[in-house]
Structure 1
Amino acid sequence: MNLSLQFNPELFRDPNRFCVYVHGLPEMPVAWVGFCRVADVLISPDAYASQAWRDTALTAPLISLTVTDVCETEGEAMRAALRLVRMYQPPINLRSGPVSSRSGRKVMCLETGVTYDTAAAAARANGLFESQLSVYLNRRSTGKIRGLTFKRV
């Protein structure tokens, strides 16, 4: 199971505003939507209000729900991402990772350390673009976040 947070400034006319998507969360209560400053819930209002959808959200092993959260800065976006990560484990410390010689992109890694290539490979394996911030949650093995990488598009 992977938890991915994707930042897509292309949805706004102002390229400095970020749109955060969260999807693929398992067993997520409807009340969770209020956790961040939610700008838009990208499911139909009728489906969201239905009891059947709520029951599914609470019991399905994998649901497809997308939430958007508008962030003004990269720092704000990162903090929003970490608030979500903390739903799954205690607070974590980030450090600046190495700059990829191939792309020149700065990488944010966990204390345990994840290289850009490792994070990028995980992103590709899960159908994500490397230009998105991706948080990888591998519950099948250690249940710990494996890495996150961010590139400003």
Structure 2
Amino acid sequence: MPSIKRLSSVCHSAAHHAVSALSYVHPHLGQACDAAGVESSAVDLLAEDIYPSSLPRLEPLALALTALRDRFGAILTSEGFAPSDLHRALLHFEFSPELPDYFCRRCSAVIVATNGKSFMHAVDWLGASVMPNPSLQRTASPTAEL
């Protein structure tokens, strides 16, 4: 297995890809959050059904999230890891009515390895690094309930 520090790169890349236009998550996730009356949503990249259960089902979003999970798997593999090396892999998207076209204000990525080592990285809607949402710190614990 490669150095566990490479998971920091995976975390960084996952957050960047999630906010990029290449992920096709936007504007669909923002629209689904708006329809549900919420300003944020989390996506569990290791879940069998990646679609957030609290959101109305939109087919373009379902397809985009499946592609996002596949891309995350490719990023993970490119760094020498497998999903079985992870305890948790979450993306948390936050939206703001001030931003145009349902772009997210912040996307925070949280990865916890099976050895308990955790990584967090966050980017804004332009891909610039920002501070992760402090409330997500608890999800970085391998024993945290989601």
TM over 0.5: no
Q: TM-score, normalised by structure 2?
A: 0.28
| Larger Cα-atom Rg | 1
> Which structure is higher in helix share?
2
TM-score, normalised via structure 1 length: 0.27
